[in-house]
Amino acid sequence: MNRKVSVAPMMDCTDRHERFFLRLISKNVLFYTEMIVSEAISRGDKKKLLSFNINEKPLALQIGGSSPKLLSEAAKAGEDFGYDEINLNLGCPSKKVQKNKFGACLMKEPTLVADCLSKMQSSCKLPITIKTRIGYDNVEDYEHLHKFIETLKETGVKTFIIHARKAILGKFTPKQNLNIPPLKYDVVYKLKENFPNDEIIINGGIVSTIQIKDHLKKVDGVMLGRSVYHSPYFLSDIEKEIFDNDNVPSRQEVIEQLLPYIKDETKKGTRLNQIMRHTLGLFHGQTGSSFWKRYLSENMCVRDADIQKIDHIMDKIKLNNLNTSVG
């Protein structure tokens, strides 16, 4: 599994439509699903929750929960559906997540987490990984993080994705937790020094290929989040500069390749806005980007968007001189 660069699990962002769209731009970056709660997988419609398009791969399933039994069942279901990795969420700080006892609050219970991971690994053969933070509330000493990782490592987990911020539980909103706690990359670098034989992935505030290259000198991989969602074509720079792949489609070609998927999905009942909302940032930083966002917002990102308008979208791109070149 190549985890050199990945796109983080983001609620209401990295759904199957977003992942299909991003895969048109990048062939090498690893994608993660939105977090899916283990109880929902156990009791809900597995096909609806876990199905994906084969073209989205490589693809990891992120799950949340604190029941060893339910998490082991969810991991096995993920394997059965064809995912490449199962990731346990130990970093989400939202109040709703805490109430249900999963996410970052589980950093307080390493023994329980270790039990969950052991059960997950016994139920499936896929790599089991974790995503967590460097601390929580007033607990941010390196010794605590080191001991937490050491405890989880004893279960056989070898890949640790670390958001280089602590989580403020109960006080901050998820958005505030993405911005207010300071980034401390050195803490993640130190983890790699102390666990040289394990895979350490760094996450948080990474917005350029220069940063990616700098981080890769000190850790094994980089996980990106909002920088990709708001500017999807950033992945083209990553393909070229990190993976030495110059065979990247232009923005116009991306839309052209997306059209058959849109038509197929809408025939199945998917609303147009559920797909097109993910493309708002495609022309970010380019001439005509404001037109693109306005046109989509007014015509294709509304609940009752007219599917017939999709047939004219390429004409709109050309007539409004949108910059569609690669780069």
**Looking at 22-84, which runs of residues are DSSP E strands?**
30-32, 36-37, 59-64
The two three-digit tokens of residue 94, written as one number = 């939202």
Q: What is the pLDDT of residues 65-118, one digit of tens each?
A: 999 999 999 999 999 999 999 999 999 887 777 677 889 999 999 999 999 999
Gap between the terminal Cα atoms of the chain: 27
Mean per-residue pLDDT over the chain, rounded: 93
Q: What is the pLDDT of residues 200-244, one digit of tens each?
A: 999 999 999 999 999 999 999 999 999 999 999 999 999 999 999
Measured in whole angstroms, the distance separating CA 28 from the mean position of its chain's CA atoms is: 14
Ranked by mean pLDDT, the top range of 137-141, 219-223, 288-292 is: 219-223
CA-to-CA dists, residue 121 to 109, 152, 157, angstroms:
19, 12, 9
| 3-state class (DSSP) for residue 327 | coil
Which of the four pLDDT bands, split at 50, 70 and 90, describes residue 309? confident
| CA–CA distance, 213 with 197 (Å, rounded to integer) | 20
Amino acid at 294: R
Task: Provide mean pLDDT across the span 296-311.
Answer: 85
DSSP state at residue 139: B
CA count, 13 A, side-chain hemisphere, 266: 21
Q: Please report the pLDDT score of residue 29 as a whole number.
A: 98
Cis, peptide link before residue 196, omega less than 30° from 0? no
For residue 171, pLDDT over 80 is answered with no
Please check whether residue 110 is in contact with residue 151, taking contact to mean a CB–CB distance below 8 angstroms.
yes
Q: Please report the pLDDT score of residue 321 as a whole number.
A: 60
Phi, psi of 203 (to 5 degrees): -145, 145
For residue 326, pLDDT over 60 is answered with no
Q: Please report the pLDDT score of residue 226 as a whole number.
A: 95
Q: Of 114, 111, 37, nearest to 78 (Cα)?
A: 37
Catalytic residues: 92
For residue 31, pLDDT over 70 is answered with yes
For 297-300, which contacts have Cβ atoms below 8 Å and span 24 or more sequence positions? 300/272, 300/273, 300/276
Domains of the chain in sequence order: 5-241 (3.20.20.70), 251-319 (1.20.120.1460)
Whose structure tokens read 């987990």? 157
Please check whether residue 236 is in contact with residue 20, taking contact to mean a CB–CB distance below 8 angstroms.
no
Least confident among 111-115, 172-176, 192-196, 222-226: 172-176
Measured in whole angstroms, the distance separating CA 220 from the mean position of its chain's CA atoms is: 17
For 194-199, which contacts have Cβ atoms below 8 Å and span 24 or more sequence positions? 194/146, 195/149, 195/153, 195/160, 198/153, 198/158, 198/159, 198/160, 199/3, 199/158, 199/159, 199/160
Mutual angle of helices 142-153 and 110-123, in 10-degree steps: 30
- Longest distance between any two alpha carbons in the chain, whole Å: 60
